[in-house]
């Protein structure tokens, strides 16, 4: 399946990043080599926004016969949690089928980063500062006012080397000293006002353990990680645009990297309507029990959409539809759902499923007879073949497909009316039975043997075709229907928990499905006629199926 991802699209419009790459290849920059990466912090599950970045980086590498790396950005020892590493690796495997499976860690380059810091000190481009964090803030200035130089800015190279060495040798407390780049305290870009590059942190690191008590700052570490790995195009989101001058500055001043520094290219983040995205908000939904875990099918996590039944091909189709740009905007979630429908249309066999069953007895059908009717598995894709569906005297139809007293324009089953059963016969409603509460329990019909599906019967027309399941040859299943977690757009980061849709998950326990579902396994997808697309969930057991709704048939269908 995943081999078929269309990363080699022949679309005429090439995104702006590919244009930059085309020029670089033409000019033989980086020896015409392309290498990209995705650098997550292992502090949560990935969401569909991350997927945009991953698929973009991966596709750019694949389209240009290049290389794509997953590199964990684990430079901050207090923020990481190893349990997230596994989920991220699983997600990347799913999204990037040709990825080499080898995860890299920024912390493996700590020695290199230390050397780079020493090189900058030796060049007079970095100094150890004794200002407190608060003093540093005061000295930094504001957007409208320049900063001022620290009194420690003019320490000699020797003194700085010694102090930095002492930082590493655990001679100071947290915050007592910090290593800063020496650039320009009056730069209009605050990121260039002598940014911190190494800080003292007495923290255990999951990878390097107790080896370090100083850790590099993200903005200093990142360009070194990229360049050291051989990344050519470091693609990231727009909030890093103001950090690019420092990214470039770091590489421009390191001998090993200055000749062909990695270039940073920014694009706009993906935002989806009706979707709360940031990791920390998703974490609250999980930890406070609003959803059934990170891979709850309602979650916009990669694990969630995978369990929901979205295909990776559909995701690439969606990303292709929305493109890559420099301007921030929100994408309507219906575009994603449409891509899923388009993808599943030809891939998923049709089947009949009655989600809210009511029994129909066909009074003129022989009692012990079962006949098998032929049905096409997918009218959009003949290669999916045909199946035989059992039919007998008792069947189930949807409760909503029968009415005792129909309103105008109701063409389904009601006393005296005739309808077509898909793949079977015409049936006419003769009578029905109710229980003591007034609920209809059984509907009695007669069938017309002349009207068998495929027989070419042209005698009369009916206005409705209904799905059904043979009551004597079917299976019971649980079906979960899903709606958006955020129904409207009237929420923000502070109140989203109060605005969650209370009906985002509806569990139907008594659904009736065609018996041949028995031949299928977890992960198989179907179109339930008239209901939408569904996937067999991993909660299924040997004798009971659980299905998740992937997407309805039409955007308006509820
Ligand atoms: P969040 O804001 O959801 O917590 P993050 O940006 O903190 O996400 P990281 O692990 O730091 O998550 O980011 C990894 C990469 O994913 C970064 O390069 C970031 O630019 C990218 N990314 C994060 N959110 C989106 C998004 N909505 N669309 C595209 N790329 C994104
Ligand atoms: Mg973050």
User: Could you report the per-residue pLDDT of 457-498, keeping only the tens digit for each?
Assistant: 999 999 999 999 999 999 999 999 999 999 888 888 899 999
Q: How much is the mean pLDDT over the chain?
A: 95
Specify the number of domains making up the chain: 3
Closest ligand 1 atom, residue 239 Cα: 20
* Ligand sitting nearest the alpha carbon of 47: 1
**How far does residue 405's CA lie from ligand 2's centre (Å)?**
58
Question: Do residues 115 and 202 share a domain?
Answer: yes
What's the CATH code of the domain at 451? 2.40.240.10
Question: Do residues 381 and 435 share a domain?
Answer: yes
pTM: 0.93
Local confidence band at 56 (pLDDT 50, 70, 90 cut-offs): very high
3 state DSSP class of 164: helix
- Pairing mode, if any, of strands 426-434 and 440-448? antiparallel
Would you report the helix, strand and coil content of the chain in percent, each value rounded to 5? 30, 25, 45
Taken as a whole, the chain contains a residue count of 558
- Per-residue pLDDT for 1 more than 60? no
* Ligand sitting nearest the alpha carbon of 275: 1
Residue 488 included in any domain: no
CB 305 within 8 A of CB 546: no
Per-residue pLDDT, 83: 82
What's the pLDDT tens digit per position in 339-362? 999 999 999 999 999 999 999 999
Which of 144-161 are b and which e, b meaning 16 or more Cβ less than 10 Å from the residue's Cβ?
A: eeebeebebeebeeeebb
The label of the residue with tokens 């849709």 reads 501
What's the CATH code of the domain at 32? 3.40.50.620
Cα–Cα nearest to 338, from 317, 323, 359, 363: 317
Question: Do residues 182 and 248 share a domain?
Answer: no
**How far does residue 473's CA lie from ligand 2's centre (Å)?**
53
Question: Do residues 94 and 31 share a domain?
Answer: yes
Local confidence band at 555 (pLDDT 50, 70, 90 cut-offs): low
Question: Which residues span the domain enclosing 123?
Answer: 111-218
Question: Do residues 133 and 267 share a domain?
Answer: no
Local confidence band at 558 (pLDDT 50, 70, 90 cut-offs): very low
Residue 473 included in any domain: no
Local confidence band at 9 (pLDDT 50, 70, 90 cut-offs): very low
Closest ligand 1 atom, residue 40 Cα: 10
Local confidence band at 142 (pLDDT 50, 70, 90 cut-offs): very high
**How far does residue 523's CA lie from ligand 2's centre (Å)?**
32
Per-residue pLDDT, 3: 40
Question: Atom 25 (ligand 1): residue with closest C-alpha?
Answer: 49
Question: Atom 9 (ligand 1): residue with closest C-alpha?
Answer: 40
- Per-residue pLDDT for 556 more than 80? no
Question: Do residues 267 and 330 share a domain?
Answer: yes
More confident residue, 492 or 511: 511
Residue 70 included in any domain: yes
Question: Do residues 377 and 440 share a domain?
Answer: yes
* Ligand sitting nearest the alpha carbon of 50: 1
Local confidence band at 5 (pLDDT 50, 70, 90 cut-offs): low
**How far does residue 430's CA lie from ligand 2's centre (Å)?**
65
Last residue of a domain, one of 400, 434, 467: 467
Closest ligand 1 atom, residue 269 Cα: 28
Residue 31 included in any domain: yes
- Per-residue pLDDT for 444 more than 90? yes
Residues with CB under 6 A from ligand 1: 39-41, 47, 49-50, 52-53, 236-237, 269-270, 277-279
Question: Do residues 213 and 223 share a domain?
Answer: no
Question: Do residues 223 and 212 share a domain?
Answer: no
**How far does residue 50's CA lie from ligand 1's centre (Å)?**
5
Cβ-defined contacts of 145-154 (< 8 Å, 24+): 146/185, 146/186, 146/187, 147/185, 147/186, 147/190, 147/193, 147/194, 148/185, 149/185, 150/180, 150/194, 152/127, 152/128, 153/127, 153/129, 153/182, 153/194, 154/127
Cβ-defined contacts of 319-324 (< 8 Å, 24+): 319/51, 319/52, 319/55, 319/56, 320/6, 320/9, 320/11, 322/270, 323/13, 323/15, 324/15, 324/16, 324/17, 324/56, 324/267, 324/268
Which residue from 237, 242, 272 has its CB within 8 A of the most atoms of ligand 1, so it is best to mutate? 237
CB-based burial label for 285 (10 Å; 0-12, 13-18, 19+): buried
Per-residue pLDDT, 557: 34
Question: Atom 13 (ligand 1): residue with closest C-alpha?
Answer: 40
Per-residue pLDDT, 490: 85
Closest ligand 1 atom, residue 280 Cα: 4
Question: Do residues 206 and 224 share a domain?
Answer: no
* Ligand sitting nearest the alpha carbon of 79: 2
CB 288 within 8 A of CB 281: no
* Ligand sitting nearest the alpha carbon of 46: 1
Closest ligand 1 atom, residue 52 Cα: 29
Residue 138 included in any domain: yes
- Pairing mode, if any, of strands 357-362 and 440-448? parallel
Cα–Cα nearest to 187, from 218, 220, 147, 152: 147
Question: Do residues 397 and 442 share a domain?
Answer: yes
Question: Do residues 384 and 433 share a domain?
Answer: yes
Q: How far apart are CA 178 and CA 197, in angstroms?
A: 8
**How far does residue 236's CA lie from ligand 2's centre (Å)?**
13
Give me the mean pLDDT over the 257-271 stretch: 97
Share of the chain above pLDDT 90, in %: 93
């Amino acid at each position: 399946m995943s081999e078929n991802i269309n990363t080699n699209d022949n679309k005429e419009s090439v995104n702006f990043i590919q244009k930059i790459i085309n020029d670089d290849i033409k000019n033989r920059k980086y020896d015409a080599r392309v290498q990209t990466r995705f650098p997550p912090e292992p502090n949560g599950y990935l969401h569909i926004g991350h997927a945009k970045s991953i698929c973009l980086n991966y596709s750019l590498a694949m389209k240009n016969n290049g290389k794509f790396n997953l590199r964990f950005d684990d430079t901050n020892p207090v923020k990481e949690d190893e349990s997230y590493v596994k989920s991220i690796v699983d997600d990347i495997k799913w999204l990037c089928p040709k990825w080499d499976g080898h995860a890299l860690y920024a912390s493996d380059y700590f020695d290199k980063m230390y050397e780079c810091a020493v090189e900058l000190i030796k060049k007079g481009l970095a100094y150890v500062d004794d200002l407190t964090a608060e003093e540093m803030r005061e000295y930094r200035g504001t957007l409208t006012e320049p900063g001022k130089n620290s009194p420690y800015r003019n320490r000699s190279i020797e003194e700085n080397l010694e102090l930095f060495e002492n930082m590493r040798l655990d001679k100071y407390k947290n915050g007592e000293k910090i290593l800063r780049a020496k650039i320009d305290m009056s730069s209009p870009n605050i990121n260039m006002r002598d940014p911190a590059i190494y800080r003292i942190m007495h923290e255990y690191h999951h990878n390097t353990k107790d080896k370090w008590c100083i850790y590099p700052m993200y903005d200093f570490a990142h360009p070194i990680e990229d360049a050291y790995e051989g990344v050519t195009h470091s693609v990231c989101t727009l909030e890093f645009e103001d950090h690019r001058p420092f990214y470039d500055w770091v590489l421009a001043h390191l001998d090993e990297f200055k000749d062909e520094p990695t270039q940073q290219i920014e694009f706009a983040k993906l935002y989806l309507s009706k979707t709360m995205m940031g990791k920390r908000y998703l974490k609250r939904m999980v930890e406070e029990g609003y959803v059934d875990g990170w891979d709850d099918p309602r979650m916009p996590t990669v694990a969630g959409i995978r369990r929901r039944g979205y295909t990776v091909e559909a995701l690439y189709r969606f990303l292709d539809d929305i493109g890559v740009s420099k301007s921030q905007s929100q994408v309507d979630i219906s575009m994603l759902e449409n891509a899923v429908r388009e993808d599943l249309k030809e891939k998923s066999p049709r089947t009949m499923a009655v989600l809210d069953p009511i029994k129909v007895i066909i009074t003129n059908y022989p009692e012990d007879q079962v006949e098998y009717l032929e049905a096409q598995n997918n009218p959009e894709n003949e290669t999916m073949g045909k199946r035989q569906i059992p039919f007998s005297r008792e069947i189930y139809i949807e409760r909503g497909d029968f009415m005792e007293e129909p309103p105008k324009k109701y063409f389904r089953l009601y006393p005296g009316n005739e309808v077509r059963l898909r793949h079977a016969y015409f049936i006419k409603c003769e009578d029905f039975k109710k229980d003591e509460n007034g609920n209809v329990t059984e509907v009695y019909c007669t069938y017309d043997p002349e009207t068998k599906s495929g027989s070419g019967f042209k005698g009369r027309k009916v206005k409705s075709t209904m799905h059904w399941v043979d009551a004597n040859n079917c299976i019971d299943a649980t079906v979960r229907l899903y709606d958006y977690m955020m129904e409207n757009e009237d929420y923000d980061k502070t109140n989203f928990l109060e605005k969650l849709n209370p009906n985002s998950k509806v569990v139907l326990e008594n659904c009736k499905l065609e018996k041949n579902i028995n031949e299928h396994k977890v992960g198989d997808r179907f179109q339930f006629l008239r209901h939408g697309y569904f996937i067999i969930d991993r909660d299924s057991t040997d004798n009971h199926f659980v299905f998740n709704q992937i997407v309805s048939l039409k955007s308006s269908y509820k």
